[in-house]
Structure 1
Amino acid sequence: MDTEAVVDAPTVEGLIKERLSAALGGWRGSLETALPTAAFVVAWVWAHDVRTAVYAAVAVAVVLLVVRLAMRQTPRYVFSAVIATAIAAFFALRSGQAQDAFLPGILGSIGFGLLSIVSVLGRWPLVGFIVAAGDPAMAEDPLGWRRNAALVRVCNRLTLVLVGLYAVRVAIMLPLYFAGQVALLGVSKIVLGWPAYLAAVAVMGLILVRGNTALSDD
């Protein structure tokens, strides 16, 4: 048996590590997501006015977008921050309650958590779609990954990590929302954003490092 060929053989874990790395925005993407929230909280603590806080968050999001465009860089990650900020602003301005700016995120975590559970039970794990989205070769057959039983098994385990992440977010932020703790909601959103994703990715990394599932397994 050719030892070198075995070592170099592609694995499910290696493929997923590549795709997850491409899907995440890195430190800059995380900063672009966190800054509008930070601006909202700081403005709220300073002025205790919902409109002032919303305007601050929107202004920061727009500046981040302009910087990306001016540098001729992809606005892919900052667009998500702009959209999230716009939705949060709508909720806060509509009710006049600053804590409602965080309600879409909490509801989103509940929704994605339930969706992740259903996807695992149905063997359509969400992480599998992340893998497919990062692979140009799968563009013509975006559901082709489901024919690889090994890939589905590993993606199921990784998706359960996301379930845990969403559960922690809801468990921490929902009580703060009902208590009207705007500043703590802002801190929690930032900490449970990129840092929590890093922790989840670290757990996924341990799963991937310990695994050596042949990519051709079906």
Structure 2
Amino acid sequence: MTATDPHHGPAGEKPRGPAAAPQTALLEQMGGPMGFVYSAVPVVVFVAANSFLPLTATIVVSIAVGLAVTGYRLLRGEKFGLAVGGLLGLALAIAIVAITGSARDFFVVGIWAYLAAFVITLGSVLARRPLTGVVWNLVHGNTHGWRADRRVLRAHDVATLALAAVSGARFGVQQWLYVSDETGWLGVARLAMGWPLTILAALVVVWAWRRSSRRLVPTA
């Protein structure tokens, strides 16, 4: 007979099923390894062009590059939503710049989005319904009493607080640079506090999801 383990199935077999799903899904939502490049290009182009071109020319160059990047992503067979989502975000930022006439407003949507994310994530922890746990339960059919398991609840408190810390840090630093009218440094901060912090927070979220699945989801 084949030896079995209650959590991992037959001896030597790697765990499968829901416990392994969150990491793959999360990486796909982030756009894969090239996601950093695609998100960085519009910021770099806008800041660089703004340093030596009039604002109108900067807007034209930024839109052209955004369209080129989106077209390239679609030609590579990426999901339409991922490819076009970046272009829509760029279009909104450019529209605000065109209306206000201020280059620093290229970053204003992101700054206030960070504040909103901070309030939502921290608020969910204070309400004893940490956001990562709510999402995990929805993904798994919304049928698990995850809040009754102290270890699972604590894991999602940690994961959601990690997301809150990242959003709060981004808002604090970039809002200060925005008020100081430091457009160039805003671009640097957006890149430096972008994917590096996102990856760190994502690792904590994946840990919480896997811990929840191991404790609450029966293996096949």
TM-score (norm 2): 0.78
Distance 2:116 2:213 in 1: 32
- Shift of residue 35, structure 1, vs aligned partner: 0.8
- 8 Å contact from structure 1 (residues 65, 75) kept in 2: no
Distance 1:129 1:80 in 2: 25
The reply to whether residue 184 of structure 1 matches residue 185 of structure 2 is yes
Aligned to 2:52: 46
Distance 2:42 2:122 in 1: 30
Q: Which amino acid aligns with 2:171?
A: V
- Shift of residue 46, structure 1, vs aligned partner: 1.9
Which blocks of at least 5 consecutive residues in structure 1 are unaligned? none
Counting helix residues as a fraction of each chain, which structure ranks higher?
Answer: 1
Aligned to 1:164: 165
Which blocks of at least 5 consecutive residues in structure 2 are unaligned? 10-14
Identity percentage of aligned residues: 22
Q: Which amino acid aligns with 2:45?
A: A
Distance 1:145 1:194 in 2: 33
Q: Which amino acid aligns with 1:108?
A: A
The reply to whether residue 118 of structure 1 matches residue 123 of structure 2 is yes
Distance 2:36 2:134 in 1: 21
Q: Equivalent residues in 2 for 1:18-57 (5 A)?
A: 18-47=24-53, 49-57=54-62
Aligned to 2:86: 81
- Shift of residue 207, structure 1, vs aligned partner: 6.0
The reply to whether residue 64 of structure 1 matches residue 79 of structure 2 is no
- 8 Å contact from structure 2 (residues 125, 161) kept in 1: yes
Q: Which secondary structure state, in structure 1, belongs to the residue aligned with residue 216 of structure 2?
A: coil
Structure 1 residues 97, 72: closer, same or farther in 2, change over 3 A?
Answer: same
TM-score (norm 1): 0.79
- Shift of residue 3, structure 1, vs aligned partner: 5.6
CA-to-aligned-CA distance 1:154-206 (integer Å, 9 cap, x gap): 33321111101011101211111011111110111111111221222344466
- Shift of residue 75, structure 1, vs aligned partner: 2.8
